[in-house]
Amino acid sequence: MFFLKLAWRNIWRNKRRTLITTFSIVLAVVLSSFTRSMQLGTYDQMIQNSAGMYTGYLQVHQKGYWDKPTLDHSFASSDSLLNKIAAVDHVTNVVPRLQSYALAAGQKRSRAAMIIGFDPLAELSLSNPKKYLVSGSYVTSDTSRSVLVTEGLANYLNLAVGDSLVLLGQGYHGMSAADVYPIQGIVKYGIQEMNQAMVFLPIGEAQYFFGTHQRLTAAAITLDDAHAVNDVQKEIKSKLDGPFEVMTWRQLMPELVQAIEADSGSGMIILLVLYIVVGFGIMGTILMMTAERQYELGVMVSIGTSRFRLGSMLLLELILLALLGIILGCLGSLPLVWYFHLNPIHFTGDAAAAMRQYGMEPVLPFSTDPTIILGQAMIILGLTTIVSFYPMWHAHKLNPIKAMRG
Amino acid sequence: MLILKLGWKNIWRNPIRSAVVIGAVLVGTWAGIFIMAFSTGMTKQYIKNQLDTYVGHIQIHNPRYLQENLPQYDISQPDSLILQLKKNAFVTKIAAHSKVQGLAMSSANTFGVSITGIDTTEEKKISTIYQDINEGDYLTSDVRNPVIIGQELADKLDLRLHSKLVLNFQDIHNDISAGAFRVVGIFSTNNSSFDEKNVFVQKKDLDRLLDRQGLVDELVLRVDNIKQAPAYAKELQKEYPNLKIQSWGDIAPELRYADISMDYTMYIFMGVLILALTLGIINTMLMAVMERTKELGMLMAVGMNRLRVFSMILVETFYLIFVAVPIGLLLAWGTVAITAHTGIDLSAFAKGLAAYGLSTVIHPELGTIYYLNISIMMGIAAILAAIYPAWKALNLKPVEAIRKL
């Protein structure tokens, strides 16, 4: 207790020394949080780009649909079912879909296209065709007899708004499905794959076209917190009885998970290098701090302070400083990360053009997940504690006569 | 001159302190450059793998083909064009394709695919798909109408080796044409959506079904330098204004994005690293000045003027940094050179990498311009890191400084 008091007083005895040491720790926390937030923010952007653009963070299907995605694996939907899902915590929207392939034809040409039976209102929260309309207008009713097509398909079939689109395919349980719809709007997505051959057909009409009645192939789910996805999955699983499969974006998009994992490896190496450099910085200040206090330590040893206690006092001082440093570091990182989250670094020139063409916002986003900062703070605390054993070792070996001569 | 000597001696007076500063700068420079080289090498190999598999470096089409995707919009007089193209020194390989969009039908399912007619010996020069054949052969078997398909498509259509596959499309007169093909090989590249949407057949078989032998819809070129491909494409575009000539960045924007974003994040990271280094050095030197309060006070008391004290501290910091940076650069250059030659084998703990299209053996590489940029950045950081502690030393008051404790 006495040494705790002494350590506390020592800290305030030389404010400049304390300031410099604390600053080196604060800096370590801020820089590693900055780097990690940038790395994880990029992943969030990739996930948002895929899950938030089309797939959703979760999907509910009939069991077996994902392995064999056909209409025969659709499930009977009802308002009560969808409401049950929507009532789960963190779920912001439930987007019903009935999806299959059919031949889309214009006057001269035809092409296999993905037909998406969609709810015009719910879909606004996910693939949002309204936002990407390049001509025509948005469909408002889910039973309206008109379609939206992607620009890639419209160009290929040589069709414009107002022209007729013939759809020819296979419906539920092998029924034949054929109909003609006027094109009400043309949409263009940045992601090329989404821009190829897609037809948005209002869901009521799609159910009629494919002869599925009230059935859906998938209910895509958006969340207000991407990190809650596993909890939500469990919750939905427990609430639904019947042969359903509830899949997260990790299961729906394994390539994306792989891409992130591959990149995460090099991200960790980068952080490791940063730790080495900030570790050296902290080491340097602590080393100099010990050297500066030679005389004082010499006196204490001479008047009979045990070396172990002296060493413990120094360690205690540094741990107090480290705690102070990481608390200030966390407080400093938070506004910094938030600033860059709200005002992300913008790519310019070629890079920006390349990213837009790829369908991504040309910015470098930052993640504001507070656990990142806490995690980095813990690592820096560990790092500082290891380095802090140096003064203890120094006190153990100190020669008081030499020390006081200086 | 005296100051230079004094600074040099001061460095050796406290070797541990000097070692820490030199160590930090050296490791920072070394590791920073190595990481950049490692990441650059990894990205470049990823891009190269993708280009080698299916994109090529430059593609040439009839502009109408790109708009309408119909095989009749072909490249006229392809043979003489190929001969002319080959006269350009930078063009290393050329392969010609006929290509059509159609439906692949099995007894189980139907799927839209892109059908490419290839000449197997020519194709091997520009695409490594023949190395990605999991089962069967690369269109070399003697069965009639052979086809190779991707693993993903095989799963979707429930096809196995030797299964029959019907390809249905419009020929050059817009008439429906169909052919029964035999699956002789199943490939699996690292791009699953490519594997789902592409099938390859013998060019002569496809040309016959399209009703024009020697039809060329697409030329795929390899050039001597991937980075130069956009410039080469522009050059060729001027020469052949009637054709549409695209480099890999336009054909596969996701690859260009990978290329460019890597550069960007690396520079930001290097900036963070140098900031950490600079502030680390400033902190250490500030502490050093405090530790030497008495010594500096004494020097001032015996009449050393402030400018000289300032210069002495400045010189000391410079020495430390300028010993460390060149050694760090040299070490980094050496490590990169060695590992670029031997490669870093990650296969033990990176099974997922191969699936994503990354090599498991990484060859780090970094252009000279990066070394130069980093040296300049380190130089500026060194000046900043030296000035502040030296300036702080100026504010010492000799009388207070000599006072003990």
Q: Are B277 and B28 in contact (CB under 8 A)?
A: yes
Region A284-311: mean pLDDT is 86
DSSP string, B143-164: SSSEEEEEHHHHHHHT--TT-E
For residue B175, is pLDDT > 90? no
The band of B354, judged by pLDDT with boundaries at 50, 70 and 90, is low
Helix or strand or coil: residue B286? helix
Q: Which stretches of A196-253 are DSSP H helices?
A: 203-210, 229-239, 249-252
- Cβ contact A112–B269 (<8 Å): no
CA distance A209 to A167: 9
The structure tokens listed for A332 are: 């400093």
Contact call for residues B118 and B97 (beta carbons, < 8 A):
yes
The b-or-e profile of A295-325 (16+ CB within 10 A means b, else e) is: bebbebbeeebebeebbbbbbbbbebbbebb
Mean pLDDT of the B69-79 span: 89
Cα–Cα distance measured from residue B132 to residue A351, given in angstroms and rounded to the nearest whole number: 32
Name every chain B residue with its beta carbon within 8 A of the beta carbon of A17: 287, 290
Nearest-Cα residue of chain A relative to residue B276: A278
Q: Which of A159-168, A215-224, A262-271, B8-17 has the lowest mean pLDDT?
A: A262-271
Whether the CB of B71 is below 8 Å from some CB of chain A: the reply is no
pLDDT of residue B58: 93
The DSSP code for A211 is T
Q: Which of B31, B261, B286 sits opposite A276 (nearest CB)?
A: B31
Contact B149, B186 (CB under 8 A): yes
| Interface probe with B: pick from A273, A297, A299, A303, most Cβ of B within 10 Å | A273
Residue of B nearest to A262 (CA): B353
Instruction: For residues A12-39, give the mean pLDDT.
Output: 88
Spell out which residues of chain B touch residue A158, defining contact as CB-CB under 8 Å: 68
Structure tokens at A2: 């006495």
| A162/B51 Cα distance (integer angstroms) | 41
Separation in Å, CA of A24 to nearest CA in chain B? 7
Q: Quick one: average pLDDT of A36-59?
A: 85
Question: Cα distance from A235 to chain B (closest Cα, Å)?
Answer: 30
| Token pair listed for A305 | 């302070």
**pLDDT tops 90 at residue B27:** no
With CB atoms and an 8 Å threshold, state whether A274 touches B276: yes
Nearest-angstrom CA–CA distance, A294 and A350: 57
Whether the Cβ atoms of residue A20 and residue A319 lie closer than 8 Å to each other = no
Six-digit token pair at A240? 């639904």
B280: closest chain A residue by CA: A281
Contacts of B257 in chain A (CB under 8 A): 354-355, 357-358, 360
Integer Cα distance of B333 and B368 in angstroms: 10
**Res B405: pLDDT:** 46
DSSP string, B74-124: --SSHHHHHHHHHTSTTEEEEEEEEEEEEEEE-SS-EEEEEEEEE-HHHHH
CB A343 within 8 A of CB A36: no
| B193 close contact with A: CB closer than 8 A | yes
Mutate to test the interface with A, among B50, B64, B69, B254 (most CBs of A within 10 A): B254
Q: What is the pLDDT of residue B245?
A: 93
More confident residue, B104 or A241: B104
Dihedral sign computed on CA atoms, order B380, B384, B386, B390: positive
Alpha-carbon distances of B31 from A36, B25, B397, rounded to whole Å:
18, 10, 41
Is the pLDDT assigned to residue A239 strictly greater than 80?
yes
Q: Report the pLDDT value the prediction gives residue B348, as an integer from 0 to 100.
A: 60
Q: What is the pLDDT of residue B353?
A: 60
Find, among B172, B396, B178, the residue nearest to B299 by Cα.
B396
Residue A381, pLDDT > 80, answer yes
Distance CA B109, CA A159 (A): 28
Average pLDDT, chain B: 85
Whether B347 shows a pLDDT value over 70: the answer reads no
Instruction: Please work out, in degrees rounded to the nearest 5, the angle formed at the alpha carbon of residue A64 by the alpha carbons of A61 and A70.
Output: 80
CB contact under 8 Å between B17 and A266, yes or no, is no
Other Cβ atoms less than 10 A from the Cβ of A374: the count is: 14
Q: What is the pLDDT of residue A359?
A: 66
Give the residue from B166, B176, B247 showing the smallest Cα distance to B199.
B166
Asked if B352 lies within 8 A of A258 by C-beta distance, the reply is yes
Share of chain B above pLDDT 90, in %: 24
Distance from the first to the final alpha carbon of chain A: 31
Instruction: Read off the pLDDT band of B98 (50, 70, 90).
Output: very high
Q: Considering only A144-153, A206-215, B138-147, B154-163, which range has the smallest mean pLDDT?
A: B138-147
Mean pLDDT of chain A: 87
Which residues in chain B have their CB less than 8 angstroms from residue A176's CB? none
- Which of the four pLDDT bands, split at 50, 70 and 90, describes residue A406? low
As a whole number of angstroms, the distance between CA A280 and CA A301 comes to 28
Residues of A in Cβ contact (< 8 Å) with B27: 276-277, 280
Question: Cβ of B40 under 8 Å from any chain A Cβ?
Answer: no
Measured distance CA(A200)–CA(B88) in Å, rounded:
47
Residues with Cβ within 8 Å of B48's Cβ and at least 6 positions away in sequence, in order, are B226
DSSP string, B369-384: HHHHHHHHHHHHHHHH
A277–B254 CB contact, under 8 Å: no
A90-99, A190-199, B28-37: segment of lowest average pLDDT: A190-199
Residues of B in contact with A296 (CB under 8 A): 405
Across the interface, whether the CB atoms of A287 and B16 are under 8 A apart is answered yes
Tokens (6 digits) for A33 = 């949080």
Beta-strand relationship, A198-202 and A110-118: parallel
Shortest CA distance from B259: residue in chain A = A351
Of all residues in chain B, what percent carry a pLDDT higher than 70? 95
Please give, rounded to a whole number of angstroms, the shortest distance from the CA of A299 to a CA of chain B: 11
Question: Are A35 and B355 within 8 A, CB to CB?
Answer: no
> The tokens of A26 are what?
């604060």
Cα B248 to Cα B226: distance, rounded to the nearest angstrom: 9
Q: pLDDT digit string (tens) for B230-270?
A: 899 999 999 999 999 999 888 887 788 778 777 777 888 88
Quick one: which of B193, B114, B216 has its CA closest to A156?
A: B114
DSSP B177-215: EEEEEEEEEEE--S-HHHHHHEEEEEHHHHHHHHT-TT-
Q: Which residues pair with A364 in a beta bridge?
A: A345
Q: Which 257-316 residues of chain B touch chain A by CB within 8 A?
A: 257, 259-261, 263-265, 268-269, 272-273, 275-277, 279-281, 283-284, 286-288, 290-291
Q: What is the pLDDT of residues B102-161, one digit of tens each?
A: 888 888 778 889 999 999 888 888 888 888 888 888 887 678 899 999 998 998 888 989
The beta strands (E) that lie in A273-381 are given as 345-346, 363-364
Confidence band of B355 (pLDDT split at 50, 70, 90)? low
Q: Cβ atoms within 10 A of the Cβ of A259, count?
A: 19
Inter-chain residue contact A291 with B14, CB threshold 8 Å: yes
Residues of B in Cβ contact (< 8 Å) with A337:
none
Residues A348-366, mean pLDDT to the nearest whole number:
74
Instruction: Flag the least confident range among A283-292, B124-133, B165-174.
Output: A283-292
Mean pLDDT across A11-19: 84
Asked whether the beta carbons of residue B284 and residue A281 sit closer than 8 angstroms, the reply is yes
Q: Which residues of A touch B23 (CB under 8 A)?
A: 280
The confidence score (pLDDT) of residue B359 equals 65
Per CB-CB distance under 8 Å, the chain B contacts of A34 are 272
* Average pLDDT over every residue of A250-272: 79
Q: Could B193 and A358 be called an inter-chain contact, meaning their C-beta atoms sit closer than 8 Å?
A: no
Q: Residue B357 has what pLDDT? A: 63
Per-residue pLDDT for B351 more than 70? no
